[in-house]
């Protein structure tokens, strides 16, 4: 079986099937064996693992995963790629390809059927436009996932890992850090893909916490509060939160809670840590 990490093999299979890249799916295929190795190493795939791969493309990374894992379930939305995947993965009986939209798949049921409900490892080269919805859907639905190792836009990876007081810090940073321990494991330049994207990429590994690092009575309220804090970044927290109808709190109430935490009424959301947001959420 031709190794797809080698650029000429990728080009020849795309030509054979007359494949056209679909802009709406944000398709960029990896053509660098060393990057592929690093992703699979970072994901710590072993022979007992069941891997969920999102967006296998033509099966480049799937081949690497199948060599190491017990089983790989690859979910691909583009029907035009299915015949290609049937060919490129024909040598791997441990791979199942599903022609589905990952956001519509019942991942929990999939994990029950394929891995007896035990946590799976997610690996993906995600289309940039849909990175956040896919990651948040896996985390918020509490799908049994041990880790998520993904290739994303470099800027998004940095946003997931960054702490308070920076311009990149926001609702995504806090949500990811509530559920997981994020770590950027590699930076990947545009020339490692076909076609070349216009931006740099990074591989980030999100290791799922068994219990979140902060305790709150109501997770949904915590995230409503966090979203409202960053919806209008230029506003003070007191103004931003009292304007959010969903929260139903007055400016006075917010100021009082901030005072109890030893924070001035002029404080902005981007300076608060996850622990402080959890405390504020409990006070409100």
The pLDDT averaged over each successive group of 10 residues in the chain (284 residues) is 82 92 84 94 97 96 97 96 96 98 95 96 89 91 94 95 93 95 96 92 96 93 93 88 90 95 94 96 94
Domain boundary among 183, 208, 233: 208
Q: Quick one: pLDDT at residue 205?
A: 98
Instruction: Answer yes or no: is 229 within a domain.
Output: yes
Decide which of 158, 187, 208 is a domain's last residue. 208
Asked if 64 and 102 sit in the same domain, the reply is yes
Residue 182 located in a structural domain: yes
- Domain of residue 272: give its range: 219-283
Residue 65, C-beta contacts closer than 8 angstroms, at least 6 positions apart: 40, 45, 51, 53, 72, 123
Task: Examine the domain organization and report whether 147 and 243 are in the same domain.
Answer: no
* Same domain membership, residue 261 and residue 156: no
In a domain, 1, yes or no: no
Phi, psi of 195 (to 5 degrees): -65, 160
200 & 227 share domain: no
- What's the total number of domains in the chain? 2
Q: Are residues 59 and 85 in the same domain?
A: yes
Quote the Cα angle for 86-87-93, to 5°: 65
Query: Which has the closest alpha carbon to 156: 111, 126, 124?
Result: 126
Which of 208, 237, 265 is the last residue in one of the domains?
208
Asked if the structure places residue 20 within a domain, the reply is yes
Q: Cis ω on the peptide bond leading into residue 118 (within 30° of 0)?
A: no
pLDDT of residue 24: 78
Q: How far apart are CA 202 and CA 138, in angstroms?
A: 20
| Statement to judge: residues 255 and 197 lie in one domain | no
Residue 1: predicted pLDDT = 61
Task: Please tell me whether residues 200 and 70 are part of one structural domain.
Answer: yes
Note whether residue 249 is domain-resident.
yes
Residue 187, domain member (yes or no): yes
Per the domain annotation, does 214 fall within a domain?
A: no
Element (H, E) at 278: helix 274-283
Are 137 and 276 in the same domain?
no
Same domain, residue pair 12 and 124: yes
CATH number of residue 163's parent domain = 3.40.50.150
Based on the domain organization, do 159 and 69 belong to the same domain?
yes
Dist CA 257 CA 283 (whole Å)? 6
In a domain, 139, yes or no: yes
Residues 122, 257: one domain? no
Specify the CATH number for the domain of residue 247. 1.10.8.100
What is residue 145's predicted lDDT score, i.e. its pLDDT?
96
Residues 59 and 189 both lie in one domain: yes
Residues 6+ apart with CB under 8 A from 70: 47, 48, 49, 50, 94
């Amino acid at each position: 079986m031709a190794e797809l990490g080698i650029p000429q093999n990728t080009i020849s299979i795309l030509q054979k099937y007359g494949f056209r890249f679909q802009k709406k799916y944000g398709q960029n295929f990896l053509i660098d064996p060393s990057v592929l190795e690093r992703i699979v190493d970072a994901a710590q795939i072993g022979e007992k693992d069941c891997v969920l791969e999102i967006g296998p493309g033509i099966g480049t990374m799937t081949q690497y995963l199948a060599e190491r894992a017990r089983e790989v379930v690859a979910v691909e939305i583009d029907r035009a790629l299915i015949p290609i995947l049937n060919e490129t993965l024909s040598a791997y009986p441990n791979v199942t390809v599903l022609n589905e939209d990952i956001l519509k798949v019942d991942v929990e049921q999939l994990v029950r059927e394929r891995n007896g409900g035990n946590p799976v490892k997610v690996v993906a080269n995600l289309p940039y436009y849909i990175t956040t919805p896919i990651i948040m859907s896996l985390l918020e639905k509490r799908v049994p996932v041990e880790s998520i190792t993904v290739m994303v836009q470099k800027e998004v990876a940095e946003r997931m890992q960054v702490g308070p007081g920076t311009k990149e810090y926001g609702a995504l940073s806090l949500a990811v850090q509530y559920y997981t321990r994020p770590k950027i494991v590699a930076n990947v330049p545009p020339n490692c893909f076909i076609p070349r994207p216009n931006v740099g990429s990074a591989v980030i590994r999100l290791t799922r916490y068994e219990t979140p690092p902060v305790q709150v009575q109501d997770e949904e309220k915590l995230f409503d509060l966090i979203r409202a804090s960053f919806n209008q970044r230029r506003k003070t927290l007191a103004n931003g939160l009292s304007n959010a109808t969903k929260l139903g709190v007055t400016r006075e109430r917010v100021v009082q809670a901030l005072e109890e935490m030893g924070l001035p009424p002029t404080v902005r959301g981007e300076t608060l840590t996850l622990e402080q947001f959890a405390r504020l959420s409990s006070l409100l």
